[in-house]
């Protein structure tokens, strides 16, 4: 079988690429359905992009790498596509855009775009081997129980990272990259909850608080959720990308710096009440109970001096915690690191080692923040590769 372009992976990046790559394009995936990570994302409503997306919302060994693709296919381009397909959406918070209906609408939109481009899709298909003979790629595939060889001018690797292995995630992209001379940056789970070996927050499980969370040089003002296993919620997922094992994280339970003045005011009118009672007007009561012993939160509010109140608030604003680990790839939304950008064109996503070989989406060392940024990278990198492929004359294989 002779084609122009073989795309490995029917996820967000692969489907988007197929819709723009031109004639004789085939997408393969081992799954039974396309776009499974799209389907489960955003609680089934798909946080498909972010209105405030900039290159600064991404981590990479080369922080400049994502700029070109993100500039040439922006969040507004994808929003226009969504609107054109009549998909209703809304902003949830911080520029995060979700479908009003179901995330399967985004999958269907991409499939419709693929169909319009006359691209083909083979599901339940595995890549057995990939080689290049100097003229074209030869891919051995297993499709519906039979092995087939496909010859292609271009191969696009869009197989994602290692996150959520129960959905079939694997490191095949890294194997292909290494085969063709690419180096890899260290990979680890990202956008993932923290665990603590002694389960200190079990009594707090289900409690959420507005926080400023800090790991390394990064801070995020979002909610933290206490769980049976440790810490989750948007703030924790965000800082997990910046955390190194063995390091402490810092939680600021008073990110707006309002608690000290409020307690002083309350002391004038509610001084007879217990300190913990009044503190629970600003923090979840279960969290106050948890902190009572370590912070010695005893006595009436009237008995607390300004110095003592300042001491308490300073402790609330600098709560140091040392996670044991994260929940790992099992629940990680993305993989940090991947195929090094050093030998990939930032304009086209093409390999510097092998003409016609492209790497897009999560497998590349470009990782976005929580909030629709990783999908925007999938759309932008997929389009970048596709446009480069479509601009080239097809050769007879």
Element (H, E) at 129: strand 125-132
List the alpha helices (DSSP H) in 143-295.
172-179, 234-240, 259-269, 275-279, 285-292
- pLDDT below 70 — which residues of the chain? 395-397
Over the chain, what is the mean pLDDT? 97
pTM of the model: 0.96
pLDDT of residue 227: 98
Does residue 381 contact residue 13 with C-beta atoms inside 8 Å?
yes
Element (H, E) at 225: strand 218-226
Residue found by looking up tokens 């003409």 in the block:
355
Hey, CA dihedral for 277, 279, 283, 289, is it positive or negative? Answer: negative
Dihedral, CA of residue 179, residue 183, residue 184 and residue 185, to nearest 10 = 180
pLDDT of residue 164: 87
pLDDT of residue 395: 65
pLDDT of residue 396: 52
- The total of other beta-carbon atoms located within 10 Å of residue 273's CB is 15
């Amino acid at each position: 079988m002779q084609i122009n372009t073989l795309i490995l992976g029917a996820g967000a990046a692969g489907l988007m690429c197929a819709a723009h790559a031109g004639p004789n394009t085939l997408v393969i995936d081992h799954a039974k359905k396309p776009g499974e990570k799209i389907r489960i994302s955003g609680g089934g409503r798909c946080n498909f992009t972010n209105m405030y997306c900039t290159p600064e919302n991404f981590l990479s060994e080369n922080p400049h790498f994502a700029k070109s693709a993100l500039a040439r296919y922006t969040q507004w381009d994808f929003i226009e596509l969504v609107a054109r397909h009549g998909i209703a959406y809304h902003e949830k918070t911080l520029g995060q855009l979700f479908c009003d209906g179901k995330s399967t609408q985004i999958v269907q939109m991409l499939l419709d775009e693929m169909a319009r481009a006359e691209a083909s899709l083979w599901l339940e298909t595995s890549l057995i081997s990939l080689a290049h003979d100097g003229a074209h790629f030869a891919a051995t595939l297993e499709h519906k129980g039979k092995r087939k060889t496909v010859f292609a001018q271009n191969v696009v690797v869009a197989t994602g990272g290692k996150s959520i292995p129960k959905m079939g995630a694997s490191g095949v992209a890294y194997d292909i990259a290494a085969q063709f001379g690419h180096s890899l940056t260290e990979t680890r789970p990202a956008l993932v909850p923290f665990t603590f070996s002694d389960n200190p927050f079990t009594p707090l499980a289900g409690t959420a608080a507005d926080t400023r969370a800090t790991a390394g040089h990064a801070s995020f003002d979002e909610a933290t959720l206490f769980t049976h296993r440790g810490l989750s919620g948007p703030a924790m997922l965000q800082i997990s990308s910046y955390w190194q094992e063995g390091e402490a994280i810092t939680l600021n339970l008073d990110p707006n710096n309002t608690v000290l003045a409020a307690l002083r005011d309350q002391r004038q009118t509610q001084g007879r009440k217990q300190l913990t009672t009044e503190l629970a007007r600003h923090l979840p009561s279960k969290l106050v109970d948890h902190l009572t012993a370590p912070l010695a939160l005893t006595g009436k509010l009237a008995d607390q001096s300004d110095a003592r109140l300042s001491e308490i608030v300073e402790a609330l604003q600098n709560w140091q915690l040392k996670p044991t680990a994260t929940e790992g790839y099992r629940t990680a939304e993305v993989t940090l690191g991947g195929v090094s950008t050093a030998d990939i064109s930032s304009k086209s996503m093409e390999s510097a080692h092998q003409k016609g070989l492209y790497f897009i989406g999560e497998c590349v060392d470009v990782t976005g923040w929580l909030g629709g940024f990783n999908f925007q990278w999938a759309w932008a990198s997929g389009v970048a590769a596709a446009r480069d492929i479509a601009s080239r004359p097809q050769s007879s294989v």
